[in-house]
Amino acid sequence: MSRAVVSLNSGSSSIKFALFTLGPDGPQHAAAGKLEGIGTAPHLVARDKDGTILIDRNWDDGSGLGHETLLHDLFAWAGDHLPDPDIVAVGHRVVHGGTKFFHPLVVDDALLAGLEALCPLAPLHQPHNLAAIRAIRSLAPDLPQVACFDTAFHHELPEVATRFGLPRALHDKGIRRYGFHGLSYEYIARALREADPVLASRRVIAAHLGNGASLCAMRDCRSVDTTMGFTALDGLMMGTRCGTIDPGVVIHLQTQEGMSATDVEALLYNQSGLLGVSGISSDMRALHKSDDPRAAEAIDLFTLRAAREASALIFSLGGLDGIVFTAGIGENDPVIRAAICERLAWLGIAIDQDANARNAPVISTADSEIVVRVIPTDEERMIAIHTLAALTPAGGQS
């Protein structure tokens, strides 16, 4: 029976998961999948390491099924169908570690209470992360669980970069910049060190461009600045999130447009971004297919915002040596990569169109002044690595 670790990334309406068996070379990817449509029409797809579909299931009339029931079904299926995995731990992506939690930690009652207290800082993400931890606890009370924090990679941001221009008392209450997508950036940093150690030691912007999108300025693979701040709303325009806007807009919506705080929250998180600007879709592929000028404008704004925020990070880095694109759009969309690089052409970036079209690992030309790379992210692997390390501090290879 092979020992295995499960990585869970639990969101409001979906749970991404991956199973890693433990070999002498660390976690080996065995299976992965996604349970989508929680609360509406749950749909589970899982594939083995070769991409063969292991399960493709819909739940009839599943709108009332919550995380706990669906995780129960998922674990029951895994127990019946996966080749004898002896699951030794479950690792979770937890969006917010606040100022206290940054190393991955084995979950106990005190930690759960501490993470619960951070829910107001990430109301749309943290409760779902914790719901998955609780669900596993009720299914398997003795199974160790490890919380891995998305804020952790930015834990060493220079103090001044964590501040808003707000009264100090608010900063002291936790109203400050944290940064997110940390597990993704940590994976990218590791992968970059392997692929290109020279570039990894220099000034790099990692661009995580998916439904959620952010940039991270890294020097020697450490975060020195990032575009998300207090919440995952800040920075780039995203699939349904607005990104940076004038805070006066929020005041105006409430005082002049009669919107409640809840209405504004729904607007900024779920109805804005590519979806709001195009009026068509939050999905970049759908926008590319559309010949509606509003779709073109949404795409244009997406690349404009990305290049503008990147330019601010170049200031934080004092220059730039490389860009790494990752996540759904960053890994797969040559048009968006080219458009962002075109807006940054003043840096001396030159893109190799063939390499870009192939999503090749290096998409800049040999004489480009900036190296531009594409690295597929793997947050689930990062969670597995941390989970093992938290259980066996010597390195998790036991």
Catalytic residues: 150
Q: Provide the pairing of β-strand 371-374 with 53-58.
A: unpaired
209 is in an annotated binding site: yes
**366, 372, 376, 378: CA torsion to nearest 10:** 130
Judged by beta carbon, residue 34 or residue 163, the one nearer ligand AMP is 34
Residue 98: CB minimum distance to ligand AMP, A: 24
Nearest position to ligand AMP, beta carbon: 328
331 is in an annotated binding site: yes
Judged by beta carbon, residue 21 or residue 272, the one nearer ligand AMP is 272
285 is in an annotated binding site: yes
Q: How far apart are CA 152 and CA 40, in angstroms?
A: 32
Judged by beta carbon, residue 283 or residue 300, the one nearer ligand AMP is 283
Q: How far is CA 92 from CA 5, 110, 309, 361, 376, in A?
A: 11, 17, 29, 29, 20
DSSP result, 124-179:
TTHHHHHHHHHHHHHH-TTS-EEEEETTGGGTTS-GGGG--SS-HHHHHTT-S---
The distance between the two most distant Cα atoms of the chain, rounded to a whole number of Å, is: 64
328 is in an annotated binding site: yes
93 is in an annotated binding site: yes
Residue 178: CB minimum distance to ligand AMP, A: 20
Judged by beta carbon, residue 125 or residue 155, the one nearer ligand AMP is 125
Residue 35: CB minimum distance to ligand AMP, A: 14
Residue 282: CB minimum distance to ligand AMP, A: 7
330 is in an annotated binding site: yes
Backbone region of residue 55 per phi and psi (left: phi > 0; alpha: psi in -120 to 50; beta: other values): beta
Give contact residues for ligand AMP (rule: CB under 6 A). 210-211, 239, 283-285, 327-329, 332-333
Supply 250's token pair.
Answer: 């929020």
DSSP-derived 3-state class of residue 69: helix
Residue 326: CB minimum distance to ligand AMP, A: 8
Best CA proximity match to 325, nearest among 179, 199, 216: 216
Best CA proximity match to 327, nearest among 188, 221, 201, 197: 188
Judged by beta carbon, residue 98 or residue 239, the one nearer ligand AMP is 239
Judged by beta carbon, residue 98 or residue 328, the one nearer ligand AMP is 328
Supply 350's token pair.
Answer: 């030159």
**End-to-end Cα separation, the chain, in angstroms:** 15
37 is in an annotated binding site: no
Residue 373: CB minimum distance to ligand AMP, A: 17
Q: Provide the pairing of β-strand 213-219 with 203-209.
A: antiparallel
Residue ranges for the known binding site are: 9, 16, 93, 208-212, 283-285, 328-332, 379
Residue ranges for the known binding site for ATP are: 16, 208-212, 283-285, 328-332
Residue ranges for the known binding site for Mg(2+) are: 9, 379
